[in-house]
Structure 1
Amino acid sequence: MVERADSGATSTVKAAAPRWARCRTGRWEEYARGRRALTRDRVLAALAVLTAGLLAFHRAVPNSGVRLGSSLESFLPWLGLVVVVLFGLTLLRRSATALVALLLPVAAWTYLFGGMLLPGSEPGAHDLVVVQHNVSDENSDPTGTARALTEASPDLIALEELVPPALPVYERTLSPDYPYHAVQGTVALWSKHPLTDARSLNIKPRGITEVWNRGLRAVVHTPHGEIAAYVAHLPSVRIGASGLASAWRDESADLLGRAVAAEKLRTVVLLGDLNGTVDDRGLSPLTSRMNVAEHGFAFSFPAAFPLARIDQVMTRSATVGHIHTLPSTGSDHLPVAARITLG
């Protein structure tokens, strides 16, 4: 420290740090910045690897207790948004390490869902068109809903949550083009082709004690031969503080899977609100036995902002070439339509 007299006043002036000290300080700050940048790059790379692991090995996520595995699988395609965000951050950081790591989730997502983005078969290259819709027991416009479902000119229309007061409206509206129909409880099937052997399906979980009839099976006599058509509405799932409550849904899916396995007709078409996505292991009794849509995401619920497709079309000895949603009706679900190739 240096003291200097000036006009009778005394002032104190700090001496400048030596050049070697300034050099060492600058190098340390540069080193610290480099370490922080490297840490951020490693965090991005680690997040990319974690996302890839969740996509590729989602079945390894435990499903006991809070049903974490099913919760992840219900929204599995949306991990693609995580990949997009990580890609943006990688470009911002200009990190080669993170960019290389990001190739892993991109490859995993593309393998799982890339085919869903393809257009599928030509519109005329199919044998049947089917429509599946949970029409909602609170639907205030059943007439408009019925008319909307016919816009796709389907061969089969499957409905759930069909309450008794609305049944005459659907019968009256659909009968001119769909003269054959079967109703069991709150599920129904309308068809352009003759139906026989319509009967109820017992898919009721043991814990439900009230009247509950939400499954039917009928034989459809199509120009391409007989097929067994199943319509089902599996129990709802709830997401709360204790996780995903899906025990009844899973039990009902198992009963439905056993019924399909016992079906004697070779070709089966299953339509229904299954309250689960095809990636959800809770539906494995069905997805392990049946074919699911090869093209199209068709997120159907909730109608206001669709996040998942829980309205499904599955087949045995047939192919679901493409599935898509139809315009919104008075329901909290969107209708889905699918093209099916038999054989």
Structure 2
Amino acid sequence: MHTEVAPVGGVITAPAPRPRRRGGPLAVLVALVAVATALLLALHGQVPDVYGIGSLVESFLPWSGVLLLVLAGVAALRRSWAAVVAVAFAAGVWAWVCWPLTAPDATGAGDLVVVQHNVSDENTDPLGTAEVLLAAEPDVLTLVEVTPALDAAITAEVSDELPYRAVLGTVGIWSRYPLADVESVDFRPTGVVAQWQRGIRAVVDRPDGVDPVVYAIHAPSVRLVPRGGFTSSTRDRALGLLGDVLADDPRSVVVLGGDLNTTLLDRALAPVLREVTTPAGSFGGTFPAAVPLVRIDHVLARGAEVTGVSALGSTGSDHLPVVADVDLPDG
């Protein structure tokens, strides 16, 4: 046992505490992850879409902001200027890529208030669903995954406010105003069964001003295939064909409500977005309803402006509805 003896006339002093170490391997890791995140944000379009990975990355890209918040906290705790600068750089890239995805909330003041919803073919609460949809005071509903039972139940609930209806297959439009020129929209990819009916188109005959054509669309889902990863090829081909349909539509004012099964950052949606646009609003997720991480349900327009878009409350579906204000041109 070692005993320290003080010199005569002296005192024992405790050793000075070591200064807290700055930086270190953790700070280096934070800086590297931040730079990698910035590169992914800036170059997401270059990520190969092998097994649907590119599409998946783009769908969840805004959520990289959560990672950057964590990295910022660690960089501050480590008191590493290099890590702080790297995270700040990545945050700037995130803002450049993702901030345009924000959108004003809908106020219900548009010329045409449109509510879009995937009501789910397993919905066990059609009456509650109808109440949520009607609470937004829509002029038009575009609904998908409409079974015959849901069609009957929802129509019975909304008919006083939205007496005009057109349903084909599992998609439908309910309107405050008469519907004309109702047509099926064929964007079925080659090889898909002939019964596939996921699009409808109708002209909304408003009492004054321009009469827009309204689409209700349900794009195919992304699937997880064992040993094959995520597959989005059917959806991607369908969206390409839908872009062609919209390009060929002679109407100058087009409003599209749909579950497009992807976000607005996804390259797969580019053919559609060349024809119709919207404030992105990707931070108001619609799926899954319990924890809405992504917005895959949209209201888009051409020849009109979507001025606000918001997610509504939960229904009996695994999606949340969205409501949009659409300002129509004078006509």
Listed as ranges, the matches of 1:115-194 within 5 Å are 115-117=100-102, 119=104, 123=107, 126-194=110-178
User: Is contact 1:294–1:322 with CA below 8 Å preserved after alignment?
Assistant: no
Quote the offset at 1:169 in angstroms: 1.5
Which sits farther off after the overlay, 216-225 or 181-190? 216-225
Identity %: 44
User: Is contact 1:116–1:295 with CA below 8 Å preserved after alignment?
Assistant: yes
Confirm whether residue 311 of structure 1 aligns to residue 323 of structure 2. Answer: no
Quote the offset at 1:38 in angstroms: 4.3
Quote the offset at 1:210 in angstroms: 5.2
Confirm whether residue 207 of structure 1 aligns to residue 200 of structure 2. Answer: no
Which sits farther off after the overlay, 200-209 or 127-136? 200-209
Give the number of the structure whose residues are more often helix, by fraction: 1
Quote the offset at 1:115 in angstroms: 4.4
Quote the offset at 1:270 in angstroms: 0.7
Quote the offset at 1:112 in angstroms: 2.7
Confirm whether residue 198 of structure 1 aligns to residue 182 of structure 2. Answer: yes
Quote the offset at 1:79 in angstroms: 0.5
Deviations 1:13-60 (A, max 9, x none): 9xxxxxxxxxxxxxxxx9xx97x9444333221211111111121101
What runs of 5+ residues in structure 2 fail to find an aligned partner? 3-17
User: Is contact 1:300–1:306 with CA below 8 Å preserved after alignment?
Assistant: yes
How far apart are the structure 1 equivalents of 2:242 and 2:280? 22
Tell me the residue number matched to 1:250: 236
User: Is contact 1:296–1:323 with CA below 8 Å preserved after alignment?
Assistant: no
Quote the offset at 1:147 in angstroms: 2.0
Confirm whether residue 103 of structure 1 aligns to residue 88 of structure 2. Answer: yes
Q: Secondary structure at the match of 1:293?
A: coil
More RCO (CA 8 Å, sep 6+):
2
Quote the offset at 1:296 in angstroms: 6.0
Tell me the residue number matched to 1:26: none
How far apart are the structure 1 equivalents of 2:23 and 2:96? 32
What runs of 5+ residues in structure 1 fail to find an aligned partner? 1-12, 14-29
How far apart are the structure 2 equivalents of 1:209 and 1:157? 27
Quote the offset at 1:126 in angstroms: 2.7
Sort the Cα spacing of 1:253 and 1:195 in 2 relative to 1 into closer, same or farther, 3 A. same
How far apart are the structure 1 equivalents of 2:86 and 2:128? 50
Quote the offset at 1:120 in angstroms: 5.5
Confirm whether residue 330 of structure 1 aligns to residue 316 of structure 2. Answer: yes
**Structure with the greater alpha carbon radius of gyration:** 1
Deviations 1:57-110 (A, max 9, x none): 1101111x3122111011111001111111011111111111111122211222
User: Is contact 1:119–1:296 with CA below 8 Å preserved after alignment?
Assistant: no
Sort the Cα spacing of 1:103 and 1:294 in 2 relative to 1 into closer, same or farther, 3 A. same
Give the letter aligned to residue 55 of structure 1: L
Listed as ranges, the matches of 1:281-292 within 5 Å are 281-292=267-278
How far apart are the structure 2 equivalents of 1:58 and 1:300? 23
Q: Secondary structure at the match of 1:279?
A: coil
Give the letter aligned to residue 154 of structure 1: P
What is the total number of aligned residue pairs between the two structures?
Answer: 310
Which sits farther off after the overlay, 254-263 or 206-215? 206-215
User: Is contact 2:263–2:282 with CA below 8 Å preserved after alignment?
Assistant: no
How far apart are the structure 1 equivalents of 2:294 and 2:88? 25
Deviations 1:212-249 (A, max 9, x none): 11101111123331111111111111135422211111
Q: Secondary structure at the match of 1:225?
A: coil
Tell me the residue number matched to 1:56: 42
User: Is contact 2:187–2:239 with CA below 8 Å preserved after alignment?
Assistant: yes
Sort the Cα spacing of 1:294 and 1:138 in 2 relative to 1 into closer, same or farther, 3 A. closer
Greater than 6 Å deviation, 4+ residue runs: none
Residue 94 of structure 1, aligned match among 73, 76, 79? 79
How far apart are the structure 2 equivalents of 1:281 and 1:116? 15
Give the letter aligned to residue 213 of structure 1: Q
How far apart are the structure 2 equivalents of 1:280 and 1:117? 16
User: Is contact 2:172–2:216 with CA below 8 Å preserved after alignment?
Assistant: yes
How far apart are the structure 2 equivalents of 1:313 and 1:118? 12
Give the number of the structure whose residues are more often strand, by fraction: 1
Deviations 1:174-201 (A, max 9, x none): 1111111111110000111221001101
